[in-house]
Structure 1
Amino acid sequence: MEQRQSDDPNETRTPASANPKSVERPGNNQSASAKQSAEQPANGQPGNEQRRREASQRHTQQRDNRQPNNRSTNQRDEHQQNTRPERESKDAQSSDNGTNQRNERNAPRNERDRNQGQRDRQQTTERETNSPEPANRLQQSPESTARVDRDNAIVREAGSPERLVIGISLGDYNGIGPEVILKALQYNRLQKICTPVIYGSMRVLNRYRNLLNLKDWNLNGAPTIAQISHKMTNVITCWPDQNQDIQPGHVTAEAGQAAFACLQRAVDDLKAGKLDALVTAPINKYNIQSEEFKFPGHTEYLAQEFDVQDNLMFMVSEQLRVGVVTGHVPLGRVRQNVTRDRIAQKLTLMMQSLRQDFGIDKPKIAVLGLNPHAGEEGLLGNEEQEIIKPLIADWRNKGQLVFGPYPADGFFGTRAYTKFDAVLAMYHDQGLIPFKAIAFEEGVNFTAGMAAVRTSPDHGTAYDIAGKNLADETSMLQAIYTAVDVARHRKEFLELEANSLKKQPIDIK
């Protein structure tokens, strides 16, 4: 949970990670003196410190097992020492030849993924071994904090008897959805933190695997969610696909119907409690339209399916969170939807989500104005004077840290968003244009205000690069990470709420 020290809107706040913080491993944030005292058990008997060291060794072994070659740290170090003289005896020419052979065996993107994962894990191990963790985690940068939190979550989950089951709907199979899903899940690299279940088509995914040269790992076909394997990436085929052909980059009615079939099957399992969270790949909002789907997007469809009056389109990343008052609404109808009640409803959903989904005890929120320059005190519009400012004043009087209204251009241009936990924009493009300019690759679309957890990448179908092996899977990976973290954090929050002390009336006789 983040600390709050002042109501000053100009107070600089270190942004929390977009993903909720995971539980620290035992012993990570002890002081040096505490560790020294713990290492001296009374009467020479094994104490808590010995047990902590044994637990730490087990966690380290579990983390090292995430390496693609399945060798532990000690095994790698011993192997490197034994082969160092042999390596040094080779000349530069043979080294170059070896490098070229490896590059020929592996696709450039696949090799980059393996190397990047190894570098991240080595950097994490060096930080844990060579430098003590700061006493105050708020002094760390958001990027390093998020990386350490994610590693802790993976280590903790590897030893957990129960992993979260994450559903992933295929989206429009002629867009980049299948590509970013396969790249995000390749080598089963997310098995340590969750069990992925793709709602799509085994035939379509295998064709993309051949097209993108992603054939060195296997998918598990499962007829139903009850028959999945927790050791593999699972695929549930959601429509008859015997004669299905893919046309990357083309809009077809068949792809739209298939996208809805995948979404509907995944939502059914989500409502039945068989999934812990749902990640949706991009759809085409035109070709998916039918008698059963008459919505402008995923968000509105899910609101109906889960019978909620309203939800919040919440764009999140490690450095910025943005919600919108009016989502998929034509610009000409934005003004009539910017009302006091609607703004208050979105603020309530944002406050609730920041607390239970992101672990922020007392959120600090910035509200943007509707008009240019936030209306210039009524010269460029009076919505700020008549609607937004009185509402913010009421919230402040109730002790909530809500500030504004701010002019959108200057607010993002001066990086004022770094002083807040989240930003509430008045309409879609006012919030999403700066968000995607700042955090496009790692941004995630999270639907707040529902009983179920749903995330998606912050990009669309990208037909222009579909099937060309050019799509970046980072946003899909972040969407899966966010789904896992929010689902876990929400469960912990609900458990704490259920076990919290309740006020009881006292009868005085």
Structure 2
Amino acid sequence: MEQRHPEKRNDRNTDLTSDQNLKDRPERQESDKAEQDPGERNAIDSNPGERKPAEPNAGERGSRERNRGERQPTERTSGERQSVERASGERNPGERNPGERNPGERNSGNRQGNDRNQRDKDRNEGVADRHEPVDRVAPDRMAGEIAREGRRSADNGSSERQDRSAGERGPADRGTADRGTADRGTADRLVVGITLGDYNGIGPEVILKALQHNRMQRICTPVIYGSMRILNRYRNILNLKDWNLNGIQNISQASHKLTNVITCWNDQNHEIQPGKVTTEAGQAAFACLQRAVEDLKAGKLDALITAPINKQNIQSEEFTFPGHTEYLAHEFGVQDNLMFMVSETLRVGVVTGHIPLGRVRSSVTRERIVEKLNLMYQSLKLDFGIQKPKIALLGLNPHAGEEGLLGQEENEIIKPLIKDLREQGRLVYGPYPADGFFGTRSYRDFDGVLAMYHDQGLIPFKAIAFDEGVNFTAGLPIVRTSPDHGTAYDIAGKNQADETSMIQALYMACDVARRRKEHQDLEANALNPKQVVEK
């Protein structure tokens, strides 16, 4: 192998540097001006014998200055780079094209490539130790901060930076820095159940997209009540194969690092038919819901997120309810509850839910409105942390009755009720005409809006916040949320479903569950007046 003299190597680098990256020349000139210190020039021009012992030799200094001081302490020298490049089959530095990156940039690219290869390997293994520091979260972090960090982590660029940072830390450093957080995080970690819903709808798709790459493990331990076989079929259809599901038989086997799946029925003879309404899919949806409710009653789950069901094919001798809400109220012995549609900018509850329109008028009574108002008021305080909620009531009739011209319900029921509540100190206002109220965005001035019937509240809500909206059931002793959409058979299995509402349902379930736990802790530790001793 030909031995090159250091001075010749520097001449080669000088020629190469002058030929490549011409667009960087202004920056290089600025750098050269900054280096015009007479002492430095003398040191470069002097002969090696006159140099101070601590200074680098002239060849090394010249090479570094011509490369604009970009070399880092961990970077290879020119000779080392040439050896590595020749061993790996790359071109000799002297044969680089003018547009090619300089050696420092190429080394940086190689390091990034190694990081990407390592991350891909980790994902194929399900979960890796290198991701543990990123997935853990301190238990005392406020619920809102947890949700915001989870949203930021969903961003691809953020995830890559976090993965790279974790990869650069040594195993010993990870164990020392995170051991305390891991112990506390596992003990305090929320366990949330997610029911599969109708597997021929978009439920499996939005669940898999929301949980892919185990990104929800930052804030909770997810357990899907469904079928490993069905979910794997959808993973193949949707090309979501770069992460693993953890099949378990019961919730006590759940891993805090993985997305867990409990198969709730004998799924060997079940084949998915996206977009089709089948009896088998309805029976499977009920089996998943039933199994999750059992674990809720046993205190093994902190919250429940339900994927969409078909209200017709789920009907059976055991399930004779209009939907999830009524079934859960029955199972937990609750006489009344509130369908509460929630987004970042709008919260809408309804006085009458899943009943025919012909029965709405007879169901809108003073007593029923008071019940729903109280449920909304308590939920805004307990579940959403609003100490003095401000609530708007909508009228039943068009234009809120037009002073009795279009109906008397506003004058006879709603207005007198609002007057009484205001005298009690409640911030309740109305009745407002629904069309003008939403058209002028007056909902922004209130913490909650109570509509008189289902479509009066849900049509504007979904028009305003369909993608990020969440269906929250207020008044239950357990936390239950769901996305605000249905089965969407027309796009099932086509990789077109948007998972945003499912993600928001997960975040909200965790937020509400944490607030309720904090409230319980405060009540348990509250001072008993009898124990207070006056000094």
Tell me if structure 2 keeps the 8 A contact 1:157–1:193.
no
1:224 and 2:225 equivalent?
no
Q: Is the 8 A contact 1:199 1:263 kept in 2?
A: yes
State the SS of the aligned residue for 2:216. Answer: coil
- Listed one character per residue, the Cα deviations across residues 250-279 of structure 1 (whole Å, up to 9, x for unaligned) are 000000000000000001101110000000
C-alpha distance in 1 between matches for 2:233 and 2:345: 37
Distance 1:292 1:497, change over 3 A: same
Give the aligned partner of residue 456 of structure 1: 482
Instruction: Tell me whether 1:445 sits opposite 2:449 in the alignment.
Output: no
Q: Which residue of 2 aligns with 1:160?
A: 185
Q: CA deviation at 1:415?
A: 0.4
- Which one has a bigger Cα radius of gyration? 2
The answer to whether structure 1 residue 375 and structure 2 residue 401 are counterparts is yes
Query: SS of the residue aligned with 1:486?
Result: helix
Letter in 2 for 1:307: G
Question: Where do 1:299-310 residues align within 5 Å?
Answer: 299-310=325-336
- Say which of 526, 532, 535 aligns to 1:500: 526
CA distance in 2, matches of 1:186, 1:388: 47
Residues 232-251 of structure 1: pairs in structure 2 closer than 5 A = 232-251=258-277
Task: Structure 1: state its 5+ residue gaps.
Answer: 1-77, 95-109, 111-120, 122-142
Taking CA–CA contacts closer than 8 Å with sequence separation of 6 or more, which of the two structures ends up with the larger relative contact order?
A: 1
Whether 1:480 aligns to 2:506 is yes
Instruction: List per-residue Cα deviations over 1:317-366 (Å, max 9, x = no partner).
Output: 11100000000011000011100000000000001100110000110000
Q: In structure 1, what is the Cα distance between the partners aligned to 2:181 and 2:376? A: 28
Q: What whole-Å deviation, never above 9, does each CA across 1:348-406 have from its counterpart, x for those lacking one?
A: 00011001100001100001010001011111101011111111111111111111110
Residue 345 of structure 2 aligns with which residue?
319
Q: As a proportion of its length, which structure holds more helix?
A: 2
For the residue of structure 2 that corresponds to 1:319, the secondary structure is: coil
Shift of residue 231 of structure 1? 1.0
Query: Where do residues 345-494 of structure 1 align in structure 2 (5 Å cutoff)?
Result: 345-494=371-520
- Matched residue count: 379
Residues of 2 paired with 1:216 and 1:282: CA distance? 26
User: Structure 1, residues 423-460: CA drift from partner, whole Å, max 9, x if none?
Assistant: 00000000000000000000000000011000000000
User: What is the SS of the residue equivalent to 1:323?
Assistant: strand
- Any conservation in 2 of the 1:170–1:281 contact (CA below 8 Å)? yes
**Distance in 1, Cα, partners of 2:196 & 2:75:** 46
Of the three residues 182, 197, 200, the one matched with 2:223 is 197
Partner of 1:4: none
Cross-structure match for 2:281: 255
Q: In the TM superposition, what are the counterparts of 1:5-20 in structure 2 within 5 Å?
A: none
User: Is the CA contact 1:146–1:318 (under 8 Å) kept in the aligned structure 2?
Assistant: no
CA offsets 1:444-491 (integer angstroms, 9 cap, x no match): 000000110000000000000000000000000000000001000111
Unaligned regions of 5+ residues in structure 2, if any? 1-71, 77-95, 107-122, 124-133, 135-143, 154-177
Could you list the runs of 4 or more consecutive aligned residues of structure 1 that deviate by over 4 angstroms after TM superposition? 78-82, 143-146, 148-152, 155-159, 501-507
| 1:337 pairs with one of 332, 338, 363 | 363
Contact 1:180 1:472 in 2 (8 A): yes
TM-score with structure 2 setting the length: 0.67
Output the CA distance in 1 between the equivalents of 2:247 and 2:326: 30
Specify the code of the residue in structure 2 equivalent to 1:495: D
CA contact (8 A) 1:447 1:453 kept: yes
Amino acid at match of 1:147: R
Contact 2:466-2:484 within 8 A present in 1 as well: yes
Instruction: Give the superposition deviation at 1:495.
Output: 1.8
Are 2:292 and 1:266 aligned? yes
Quick one: percent identity of the two aligned structures?
Answer: 74
Q: Which secondary structure state, in structure 1, belongs to the residue aligned with residue 482 of structure 2?
A: strand
Per the normalisation by structure 1, the TM-score is 0.70
The separation in 2 between residues aligned to 1:79 and 1:338, in whole angstroms, is 76
Deviation (angstroms), 1:505: 11
Contact 1:392 1:404 in 2 (8 A): yes
1:117-196 map, 5 Å: 147=148, 160-162=185-187, 163-196=189-222
Q: Distance in 2 between matches of 1:235 and 1:263?
A: 14
Q: 1:398 to 1:151 in 2, by over 3 A?
A: farther
